[in-house]
Amino acid sequence: MVARDITDIVDRSRIGDQPLMIDRYDLLLGLIPAAFLVAFLASRLLGFPFEAAVLGGAAIASLALLDGVFFRPPTGLQGA
């Protein structure tokens, strides 16, 4: 969508017109707090001991971190 301003033409594109820029590494970064959130909910709702649930969340977060940093690291600028 293009709107005319007094001085120039201003391009006001909508968010829906932009391509989806979420890649694998964004999902891995989102998995880390999600693992701890699921561990907390499991300890509260299912009655697991809190320490065991946090240990399970840390294991899942560690796997995501190791995968993103060591096993399949980024190879350069993806969005450039």
Please state the pTM of the whole predicted model.
Answer: 0.67
The span from the CA of 8 to the CA of 6, in Å, is 6
Residue 11 DSSP symbol? E
The span from the CA of 31 to the CA of 26, in Å, is 9
Q: Give phi and psi for 39, each to the nearest 5.
A: -65, -40
Residue-wise pLDDT for 17-51, tens only, equals 667 788 888 999 999 999 999 999 999 999 999 99
H/E/C letters for each residue in 15-42? HHHCCCCCCHHHHHHHHHHHHHHHHHHH
Residue whose tokens read 């399970």:
56
Q: What is the pLDDT of residue 50?
A: 93
